[in-house]
Amino acid sequence: MSPRSALATAALCAVGYLVLSASASGSHGSNAPCGPARAQTVVADRVARVYRVPAGHGPFGKLYDYHGCAIGNAKAQLVARTASQPHGNRVYGCGGPGCSLITAIRLAGAKVGVIVEHHGIDFVDGTLTVRDLADGRLVHRLQTGWIAPDRGVRLITCVLAPSGNVAWSTETSSATHHYGSIHRAIGHTLSTLDSGPKVRASSLRLRGGTVEWIDAGRRVHALLP
């Protein structure tokens, strides 16, 4: 996506998306369900795992390849690449144009979702991708674009159900407006659940089969089967 066409764009290709918190970051894979035991685990559950391996050095720091694997599928999938260092649940360290960093990863069963930001001179393109690690299938792919200073649409976070259905949040900025939005993909059906200046995009959470977020100080809910 070019920086000019990125303004106020949120084009959804395929069918959806997702992400995961790196709660297992820093551990190794001796008890992991698949993949090389010595690789660093980012997140894992009983049937799948996301791990990272060093891939050299770039102008903004160490390079890592992030792979996902699932029990029953001998072939690991490349799910993301970054030149940044992890810090808590977010990856920081993008130093300038040409840098890519991961802002979110989610794992639900064999489904994995990743948000990656690609930084240019005066723009940021965001991509949200969901894959099925059991068969390598692309489930959802979403792209947004943002131009400095604060013009366009930026992906904030997302949550994923084991079915592959996904919800995500965005922030949209222009010269006169700034507002948050909550979106959902159930199969091929896409919808915007909420949008407005008091929608807190960073508040999106998944509790069981329900997503929740905050709008004007109150908690709002919707199903994510």
- pLDDT of 91 > 50? The answer is no
- pLDDT of 50 > 80? The answer is yes
85 or 32, higher pLDDT: 32
Partners of 108 in beta bridges = 111
Question: pLDDT of 157-197, one tens digit each?
Answer: 999 999 999 999 999 999 889 999 999 999 989 999 999 99
- Burial class of residue 138 in the structure, from the number of CB atoms within 10 Å of its CB (0-12 exposed, 13-18 middle, 19+ buried): middle
User: Which structural domain, as residue segments, surrounds residue 61?
Assistant: 10-223
- Asked if residue 29 belongs to a domain, the reply is yes
- Asked if residue 127 belongs to a domain, the reply is yes
- Asked if residue 106 belongs to a domain, the reply is yes
- Asked if residue 5 belongs to a domain, the reply is no
- pLDDT of 202 > 80? The answer is yes
Domain count, the chain: 1
What is the number of alpha carbons within 13 Å of residue 80 lying toward its C-beta? 32
Average pLDDT for the chain: 81
Segment 81-101 mean pLDDT:
59
- Asked if residue 135 belongs to a domain, the reply is yes
Return the number of other C-beta atoms located less than 10 Å from residue 26's C-beta: 10
Q: Which residue has the tokens 């995961």?
A: 20
- Asked if residue 207 belongs to a domain, the reply is yes
| pLDDT confidence of residue 18 | 30
Poorest-confidence range of 53-67, 137-151, 181-195? 53-67
126 or 72, higher pLDDT: 126
Ordered DSSP codes for 89-127: TEEE---STT-EEEEEEEEETTEEEEEEEEE-SSEEEEE
Question: pLDDT of 2-47, one tens digit each?
Answer: 333 333 333 332 222 233 333 333 455 556 679 898 999 999 999 9
| Helix, strand, coil percent content, the chain, rounded in steps of 5 | 0, 65, 35
| pLDDT confidence of residue 156 | 95
Question: pLDDT of 93-109, one tens digit each?
Answer: 565 677 788 889 999 99
Predicted confidence band of residue 53 (pLDDT cuts 50, 70, 90): very high
Q: Which residue has the tokens 């940021």?
A: 124
What's the token pair of residue 109? 């069963």
The one-letter code for the residue type at 145 is G
What percent of the chain stands above pLDDT 90?
A: 58
- Asked if residue 169 belongs to a domain, the reply is yes
Nearest to residue 6, comparing CAs of 184, 169, 157, 126? 126
**Cα–Cα distance for residue pair 174/177, rounded to 1 Å:** 5
Q: Taking a C-beta distance cutoff of 8 angstroms, is the pair 111, 160 a contact?
A: yes
**Cα–Cα distance for residue pair 159/167, rounded to 1 Å:** 5
Handedness of CA 113, 118, 123, 125 (dihedral sign): negative
| pLDDT confidence of residue 26 | 45
- pLDDT of 63 > 80? The answer is yes
Q: Taking a C-beta distance cutoff of 8 angstroms, is the pair 101, 109 a contact?
A: no
| pLDDT confidence of residue 150 | 75
- Asked if residue 1 belongs to a domain, the reply is no
